[in-house]
């Protein structure tokens, strides 16, 4: 369970970019964070993993207060926070397996990391997860030989190798074509449910947010102005979040086709 209370972030002396956010997310739940550029979506995710220092407020992960943690305690807490990035953040010259095992860096000794002697159980877990997301056959390929969708799957497995208690995804589909984006969204949704993992996804694509998440949180100028089910995210909510600022990439509100597709219904061969 992730619990954010009265989270405020101010950069320098500027107007706060997060103005007292409250959000609680259970395991299993996939939450889309939407909002115009500059609304504070990335700042919010980065406060959770403390890449950005919150100015005030509380962020608790399964009971542990993350704000104010320092040094070793912060490193330990960060292990429990998986992150998936728009640009994948892989090391191109390393293999898929090496990139995946980087997810264990917070757990192994410096010697093990430098000499790449990861425990056998880590390697076995890596294979299980790579198998799960359909990239096990690429284990020994260089990361830069993979397509965007495959690279994002590596990013997802690397994050899962941390045995995270929450998964944060910052525009995970923005660099991918529509079909591959859909596959990655479905994958995140399935993994959240299989692993009882709360997943927070910053996303500009409102149609994908509606189809592939359980809940949408809308930010405007650092304030949460929508928090509800995708089916309730209507034109009025869209206007409240984006009105007078800019149009989101996909402004059309498509008819809600019930719950999003299941993973088995989405082809895997075009990633
Ligand atoms: N390091 C920083 N120093 C000062 N201001 C910052 C910094 N990072 C972000 N900001 C400001 O904070 C506000 C929110 O930025 P943030 O990146 O969180 O928005 P966002 O909703 O994620 O936008 P986008 O969708 O464009 O990524 C913006 O006005 C931005 O200029």
Burial 232-246 (b: 16+ CB within 10 A, else e): ebeeebbeebbeeee
Backbone angles phi, psi at 53, to 5 degrees: -80, 120
Residue 21, pLDDT > 50, answer yes
CA 28 to chain CA centroid, Å, is 13
> Is residue 102 assigned to a domain?
no
Ligand 1 midpoint to CA 141 (Å): 36
Q: Ligand 1: residues within 6 Å at CB?
A: 11, 17, 35, 37-43
Closest CA to 159 of 112, 54, 217, 89: 89
Residues 6 or more apart whose CB falls under 8 angstroms from that of 209 comprise: 32, 34, 201, 203, 216, 230, 233
Q: What per-residue confidence (pLDDT) applies to 249?
A: 52
Q: How many other β-carbons are positioned within 10 Å of the β-carbon of residue 52?
A: 17
User: What is the residue with the minimal CA distance to atom 29 of ligand 1?
Assistant: 38
Residue 159, pLDDT > 50, answer yes
> Is residue 123 assigned to a domain?
no
Cβ contact 167:197 at 8 Å: yes
Q: Give dist(CA 21, CA 48) in Å, integer.
A: 12
Cβ contact 204:174 at 8 Å: yes
Distances (CA, A) of 221 to 20, 24, 131, 210, 213: 11, 20, 41, 21, 23
* CATH code for position 237: 3.40.50.300
Residue 197, pLDDT > 60, answer yes
Burial 209-219 (b: 16+ CB within 10 A, else e): bbbbbbbbbbb
Q: What per-residue confidence (pLDDT) applies to 268?
A: 43
Closest CA to 80 of 195, 249, 187, 184: 195
> Is residue 136 assigned to a domain?
no
Distances (CA, A) of 247 to 100, 144, 151, 243, 251: 36, 34, 29, 8, 6
Length of the chain, please?
Answer: 271
3-class DSSP assignment, residue 252: coil
Give the domain extent around 193.
2-95+163-242
Of ligand 1's atoms, which has the minimum distance to the CA of residue 202?
A: 22
Q: Over the stretch 110-121, which tens digit does the pLDDT of each residue have?
A: 777 777 788 999
3-class DSSP assignment, residue 174: coil
> Is residue 132 assigned to a domain?
no
ipTM: 0.98
> Is residue 223 assigned to a domain?
yes
Ligand 1 midpoint to CA 17 (Å): 7
Mutate to test the pocket of ligand 1, among 19, 42, 45 (most ligand atoms within 8 A of CB): 42
> Is residue 68 assigned to a domain?
yes
Mutate to test the pocket of ligand 1, among 9, 43, 204 (most ligand atoms within 8 A of CB): 43
Residue 263, pLDDT > 80, answer no
Q: Give dist(CA 232, CA 84) in Å, integer.
A: 27
Q: Give dist(CA 4, CA 20) in Å, integer.
A: 9
Strand 56-61 relative to strand 30-34, pairing: unpaired
Residue 215, pLDDT > 50, answer yes
Handedness of CA 177, 178, 180, 185 (dihedral sign): positive
Q: What per-residue confidence (pLDDT) applies to 253?
A: 56
> Is residue 201 assigned to a domain?
yes
Work out the percent of the chain whose per-residue pLDDT is above 70. 90
Q: Over the stretch 73-111, which tens digit does the pLDDT of each residue have?
A: 999 999 999 999 999 999 999 999 999 999 998 888 777
Q: Over the stretch 122-144, which tens digit does the pLDDT of each residue have?
A: 999 999 999 999 999 999 999 99
> Is residue 234 assigned to a domain?
yes
What is the tally of structural domains in the chain? 1
User: What is the residue with the minimal CA distance to atom 3 of ligand 1?
Assistant: 11
């Amino acid at each position: 369970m992730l619990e954010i209370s009265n989270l405020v972030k101010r950069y320098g002396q500027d107007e706060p970019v997060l103005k007292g956010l409250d959000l609680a997310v259970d395991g299993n739940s996939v939450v889309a964070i939407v909002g115009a550029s500059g609304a504070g979506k990335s700042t919010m995710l980065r406060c959770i993993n403390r890449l950005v220092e919150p100015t005030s407020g509380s962020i608790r992960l399964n009971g542990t207060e993350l704000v104010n943690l320092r040094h070793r305690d912060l490193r330990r807490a960060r292990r429990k926070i998986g992150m998936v990035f728009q640009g994948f953040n892989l090391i191109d010259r390393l293999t898929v397996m090496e990139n995946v095992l980087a997810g264990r860096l917070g757990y192994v000794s410096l010697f093990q990391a430098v000499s790449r002697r990861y425990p056998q159980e880590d390697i076995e877990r890596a294979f299980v997860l790579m198998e799960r997301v359909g990239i096990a056959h690429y284990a020994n390929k260089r990361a830069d030989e993979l397509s965007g969708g495959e690279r994002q799957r590596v990013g997802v497995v690397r994050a899962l190798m941390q045995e995270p208690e929450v998964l944060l995804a910052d525009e995970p589909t923005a660099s991918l074509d529509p079909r591959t984006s859909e596959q990655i969204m479905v994958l995140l949704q399935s993994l959240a449910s299989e692993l009882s993992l709360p997943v927070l996804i910053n996303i500009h694509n409102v149609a994908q947010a509606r189809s592939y998440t359980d809940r949408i949180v809308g930010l405007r100028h650092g304030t949460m102005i929508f928090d509800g089910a995708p089916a309730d995210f209507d034109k009025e909510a869209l206007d409240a979040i984006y009105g007078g600022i800019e149009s989101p990439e996909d402004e059309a509100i498509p008819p809600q086709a019930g719950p999003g597709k299941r993973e088995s219904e989405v082809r895997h061969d075009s990633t």
